[in-house]
Amino acid sequence: MKRKKRIIGIVAVLLCIASLYLVQKLLMPKYSADIFEGALIEDYYNETTEHQVVFIGDCEVYENFSPITLWEEYGITSYIRGSAQQLIWQSYYLMEETLSYEKPDVIVFNVLSMQYGEPQNEAYNRMTLDGMKWSGSKIKSIFDSMTEEESFVEYLFPLFRYHSRWSELTADDVTYMFSKKRMFHSGYLMRVDKKAAGSVPEGKILDNYQFDDSCYEYLDKMVALCEEQDVQLVFIKAPSLYPYWYDEWEAQIESYAKEKGVPYVNYLEEIEEIGLDFSQDTYDGGLHLNLSGAEKLTRYFGNWLKENYDLTDYRENEELAKIWSEKKDFYDEMKEDQYRELDEFGYLKSYGAREVTNED
Amino acid sequence: METLLEILEELHADVDFKNCETLIDSAILDSFDIVTLIAEIDNVFDVAIPAEEIIPENFNSAKALYALIQRLDEE
Amino acid sequence: MLFTSYNFILFLVIVFILYYCIPKKFRWILLLFASYFFYAQAGVELLLFLLSTTVSTYIVSLQLLRLSGTQKAYIAKNKTVLNKEAKKAYKSKIKKKQWKWLLACLFFNFGVLAIFKYTNFTIANINSLITAFGGTKQLNFLNLVLPMGISFYMFQTMGYLIDVYRGTVQAERNIGKLALFVSFFPQLVQGPISRYNDLSRTLFEKQAFNSSNVWFGLQRILWGYLKKMVIADRILPAVNTIINAPEDYQGAYVLAGMIFYAIELYADFTGGIDIVIGIGQIFGIEMTENFNRPYFSKNITEYWRRWHITMGTWFKDYLFYPISICKPMRKLSKWSRNHLGEAVGRKLPVYISTLVVWFVTGLWHGASWNFITWGVFNGVIILLSGECAPLYQWFHKRFRVENKIWYSAFQILRTFLLMSSLRLFDCYRDVKTAFSMFGTLFTKWNYEVFFNGSMLELGISTADYMVLLLGVLLLLLVSLRQRKGSVRQQMAEKPITVNLLAVYLLFMAIIILGAYGIGYDASQFIYNQF
């Protein structure tokens, strides 16, 4: 009798743990109806082959570069490990983690995040961290990112963070319980709509333009890591008109890159050469490029890569060609679908855009 | 014992103090009654009941109360 | 450490595992370390308070013990020589000495409590008096920290000392054991206020692992967390919205606030006590109950026998009776019997003691006039209802409604509304506001707010209301069931799968429906800073 009770007890505990796991999966946000960028980080683990180039950074990478174009025109395989407001230490740990999965020839890092020396925002932290698979890098990244109100337990068991979603559950929460909706193209978030940039005001005057010491530390770590792993590190500043990129910041990066011998390109200075037209090539008035802008930038950047690095053109490789052809198909499908929605609704209804009103 | 019963009956005329054994447990006597009782007992018997003796065991029946009075008197 | 923090849960699990791994005779020592560790989380310096109370009480209780020993020896030695008179005289001499020791310790300890809790209140009142008399000088407030749980452990320990003085408790010779009695972590924050004879029975026992205790204790802890996190913390934002802006929330809102607060306080306080007693139980330690379905009370006197029971009995045994039966009071009673009439004379001791006790009760709840007013009002109403007894008797003789169900329902509702109204003094920061808000119940006819969606703008959503409704229903059902006997006992007689399912659902409800985490503020137990 006692034995039976013990067995029932153990079974009960196991069932309880299993149900907790399922409930957690159910209640975590799926980012399937809006705020798609929340699903970016997790998308990486779906990749089946390695990449020659890996982009790391915030929205200035995942909205501005098209890996499909890089493949089509240069046969270069790439992936963008981006996420919203990705902070520099988060980028470093993503870099460290990526290098445990593969060894790309080039890693490209967008330096905008040098301006943030402190943990910023719980919601953005979640979008960058929740999607990572458990690893030493993830744990370190969590501890460096937590704001005052957060606690590690809530990252270990996200159920404690998202339990209150019980009253907001939708059908999507069940559909995408174990895998997210496919929305990205090797980490690129596509937008075909247009919204011309207006006049760009000068940035506000800051008290202090000096980047935080901790940010420089992480930059140093990136340089050291890439050297140690024999990966070419490249710094860029994407050609987004907002947020404002100060001359004082530019000077610091230029001098750092020169000192460390890391190539650095500021694409804000090459807008004409790239052929960017901010009345056509942006979907939000200059913050991010749209599809046509991203393809232009990628074409230009690909050329620079070709000239500076010895990167194999894999378009003849049967296995890779098959994989990337499928990616291209999905890319074209989404492009078509987005244009269709623009025609039908005037805005990208299912892609996170808001209805355009006369006040916009 | 008679005197004690008289005092008790003055508090509640309709209660059978001779036989009832649950004066406290059934809330027949409340704290007001107890205070009055103690004052009267001091008056009449010249016995001071201290606060620590105010427990159900001593006040649940007239018999128990009388036993208490006698005990305190001896000491 | 708040009960509702991850750290506390971890702490509890670790202590629990260690407790049953170490040899039985060391188990109470582990609890002592755990309790001091727990208290130190609020600030290591604060341990000084625990220590000063423990050490002073220990020293004095041993003095009392020594004097009793001297008395016994002397009387035994001189049995043949002493007559009744001499014996009485000698005893009273010893008693006087003991009384001096007791007084010193009470003075010291209550003095500490008074200084840290009531100095700023006193200063505020002095300042008001100065202004009232036209003065301009204002005293500065002191920056004093209020040691966690001081009102609880202080009263508990002083109760112990008084019991030693009275001879109903044997002084504890082991200072470690006394220290544990003073600091026992589950009850440190909000009670129950235990008596030494009750708690020591199981506190120091060499506890063997008892699966039934652990299982029942766990259930009680979960039940407490459910009340606290699913109900109390959920309804709190609405309560705060209403009481923090009395200018905007009047009339019907005050009624809503009263009822919400009644639910919130009940769930928070009784839930907290469930956790406390449940924790005791998993360690095999029995603690006194502090609540007995208080909202089923039919009148205010009954309510105070069922709500915060250990506080009520503490004041009764250590304040009410000592005052009402002491010599000076009896003298006063006699005098007034002769000069003001029999009726007045008999009632006087009770009336004075009652008002004193309720004044102190109010003061104990908080260092401000609204708490004192609340206390005194309770006392006055209790006395008034006593005065109305003949009226009630006449009524019940004339109209035979005493045992009718609807009349009982009326009594329960009446008492509930009365106590909820009195709690307005608890809610609003000053007496004037409390009175005027109560007035708006009758003068401001905005009862349409219950129907036009305004109730959804208080900080809780429709989904929240649903959960609250189900929660309150569950509480009601369990309370009704409990009248037949322990609910856990009744559950235990059902098949094990039913038990497991119930506990599982309880656990999941807390995790999923609990009002915690980012988006909800971590709430303090209301009685935490006492």
Min Cα distance A159 → chain C (Å) is 8
Question: Which residues neighbour C134 within 8 Å (Cβ) at sequence distance 6 or greater?
Answer: none
- pLDDT of C521 over the 70 cut: no
Q: What is the CA radius of gyration of chain A?
A: 22
Residue C525 in contact with residue C188, Cβ under 8 Å? Answer: no
C50: CB partners within 8 A, 6+ apart:
C36, C39, C153, C179, C182, C183
Q: Identify the chains in contact with C, defined as 3+ C-beta pairs within 8 A.
A: A, B
Task: Residue C464: list chain A partners with CB under 8 A.
Answer: 167
- Number of Cβ atoms within 10 Å of the Cβ of C309: 20
Ramachandran area for residue C395 (φ above 0: left; ψ -120 to 50: alpha; else beta)? alpha
Average pLDDT over residues C212-233: 95
Whether residue C294 contacts residue C212, with contact meaning beta carbons closer than 8 Å, is answered with no
- Cis amide leading into C192 (omega within 30): yes
Cβ contact A–B (≥3 pairs, < 8 Å): no
Question: Does the distance separating the beta carbons of B39 and C350 come in below 8 Å?
Answer: no
Is residue C312 within 8 A of residue C305, CB to CB? The reply is yes
Q: What angle do CA C458, C459, C461 make, to 5 degrees?
A: 100
Which position has the token pair 């939708």?
A170
What is the spatial distance between Cα A122 and Cα C518, in angstroms, rounded to a whole number?
9
Is C455 buried (19+), middle (13-18) or exposed (0-12) by CB count in 10 A?
A: middle
Q: Is A172 on the interface with C (CB under 8 A)?
A: no
Distance CA B48, CA B41 (A): 8
Report the alpha-carbon distance of residue A62 to residue A55 in Å, rounded: 8
Cβ-contact C529, C366 below 8 angstroms: no
Yes or no: say if C345 and C333 are a contact pair by the CB < 8 Å rule. Answer: yes
Contacts of C366 (CB under 8 A, 6+ apart): none
Which segment of A204-213, C160-169, C199-208, C333-342 scores lowest on mean pLDDT? C333-342
DSSP conformation letters of A52-102: SEEEEESHHHHTT--HHHHHHHH---EEEEE-TT--HHHHHHHHHHHHTT-
Residue C520 predicted with pLDDT over 60: no
Evaluated on CA atoms A279, A285, A286, A292, the torsion sign reads negative
Does residue C421 contact residue C300 with C-beta atoms inside 8 Å? no
Backbone angles phi, psi at A39, to 5 degrees: -95, 0
**Taking CB atoms and an 8 Å limit, are C167 and B54 in contact across chains?**
no
Q: What is the pLDDT of residues C410-458, one digit of tens each?
A: 999 999 999 999 999 988 988 999 999 999 999 988 888 898 888 888 8
CB C333, CB C359: distance < 8 Å: no
Distance from CA of A29 to the nearest CA of C (A): 15
Phi, psi of C122 (to 5 degrees): -60, -45
Q: Please state, for a pLDDT cut of 70, what percent of chain C lies above it.
A: 98
CA distances from C256 to C4, C240, C355, C444 (A): 27, 12, 30, 14
Measure the CA–CA gap between C319 and C15, rounded to whole angstroms.
Answer: 37
Beta carbons of B61 and B23 less than 8 angstroms apart: yes
Which residues in C lie closer than 8 A to residue B31 (C-beta atoms)?
Answer: 316, 320-321, 350
Q: Does B36 touch chain C (CB under 8 A)?
A: yes
Q: Mutate which of A167, A168, A170 to test chain C, going by most C C-beta atoms within 10 A?
A: A167
Residue C455 to residue A147: CA distance in whole angstroms: 33
Residues of C in contact with B28 (CB under 8 A): none
Q: Which two tokens stand for residue B61?
A: 């029946």
Inform me whether the pLDDT recorded for C182 exceeds 50.
yes
Task: Determine the Cα–Cα distance for residues A158 and A156; give it in Å rounded to an integer.
Answer: 6
d(CA C248, CA C240): 12
Q: Which residues 126-165 on chain A approach chain C with CB closer than 8 angstroms? A: 149-151, 153-154, 159-161, 163-164
Hey, of A164, A165, A169, A173, which one would you mutate to test binding to chain C, going by the most C CBs within 10 A of its CB?
Answer: A164
Shortest Cα–Cα distance, A212 to chain C (Å): 28
Check if the beta carbon of residue C240 is closer than 8 Å to that of residue C193. no
Q: Is the pLDDT of residue C92 over 70?
A: yes
Task: Give the one of C461, C500, C511 whose C-beta lies nearest to A163's C-beta.
Answer: C511
Chunk chain A into consecutive blocks of 10 residues (it has 360) and report each block's average pLDDT, rounded to whole numbers: 83 93 94 90 94 95 95 96 94 96 96 92 91 95 91 93 88 92 94 89 88 94 96 95 92 95 94 93 92 96 94 93 96 95 89 70
CATH superfamily, region A27-315: SGNH hydrolase (3.40.50.1110)
Asked if C517 and A164 come within 8 Å (Cβ–Cβ), the reply is: yes
Q: What is the DSSP string of A180-192?
A: -----BTTB----
CATH architecture of B2-74: Orthogonal Bundle (1.10)
Contacts of C105 (CB under 8 A, 6+ apart): C56, C57, C60, C158, C161
Judging contacts by C-beta atoms under 8 Å, the chain B residues touching residue C333 are 39
Q: Of C326-340, C367-381, C414-428, which gets the smallest average pLDDT?
A: C326-340
* Physical contact, C and B (3 or more Cβ pairs within 8 A): yes
- In the block, tokens 């595992």 appear at C17
Question: What element of type H or E holds A56?
Answer: strand A53-57
Report whether pLDDT(C196) > 50: yes
Kindly list the residues from chain B whose CB atom is less than 8 angstroms away from the CB atom of residue C325: 35, 38-39, 48-51
User: According to the model, what pLDDT value does residue A3 have?
Assistant: 85
Q: Which residues pair with A19 in a beta bridge?
A: none
Q: Give me the total of CB pairs closer than 8 Å, taking one residue from chain B and one from chain C.
A: 44
Interchain contact C519–A (C-beta under 8 A): yes
**C250 close to B (CB below 8 A):** no
Please give the residue that has the higher pLDDT: either C134 or A91. A91
Measured from the Cβ of residue B59, the count of other Cβ atoms closer than 10 Å reads: 21
The separation between the first and the last C-alpha atoms of chain B, rounded to the nearest angstrom, is 19
* pLDDT tens by residue, C283-319: 999 999 999 999 999 999 999 999 999 999 999 999 9
Is residue C523 scored above 50 in pLDDT? no
Q: Is A109 helix (H, G, I), strand (E, B) or coil?
A: strand
Domain boundaries in chain B?
2-74
Digitized pLDDT (tens) for each residue of chain B, 75 residues in all: 888 888 888 888 788 888 888 888 887 888 878 888 888 888 888 888 888 899 888 998 888 999 999 888 876
Amino acid letter, residue B32: F
Domain map (residue ranges) of chain A = 27-315
Residues of chain A positioned with their CB less than 8 A from the CB of C504: 12, 15-16, 19
Q: For residue B43, how far is the Cα from the chain centroid?
A: 13
B52 touches C at CB < 8 Å: yes
Distance CA(A138)–CA(A152), nearest Å, equals 11
Closest by Cβ to C519, choosing from A8, A27, A164: A164
Q: Are A38 and A61 in contact (CB under 8 A)?
A: no
End-to-end CA distance of chain C, in Å?
A: 15
Distances from the Cα of A33 to the Cα of A37, A300, A352, C225, angstroms: 11, 33, 7, 35
Beta bridge partners of A266: A237
User: What's the whole-number mean pLDDT along residues C349-366?
Assistant: 93
In terms of residues, how long is chain C?
530
For residue A289, what are the β-bridge partners? Answer: A282
Residue C276: its H or E element: helix C252-282
Residue-level pLDDT at C530: 38
Centroid of chain to Cα C281: 19
- Chain A neighbours (≥3 Cβ pairs under 8 A) are C
Residue C308 near residue C270 (C-beta atoms within 8 A): no
What whole-number distance in Å separates Cα of residue C20 and Cα of residue C184? Answer: 18
CA–centroid distance for A347 within its chain:
23
- Has the ipTM of the complex gone over 0.85? yes
| Angle, in degrees to the nearest 10, between helices B31-45 and C327-340 | 90
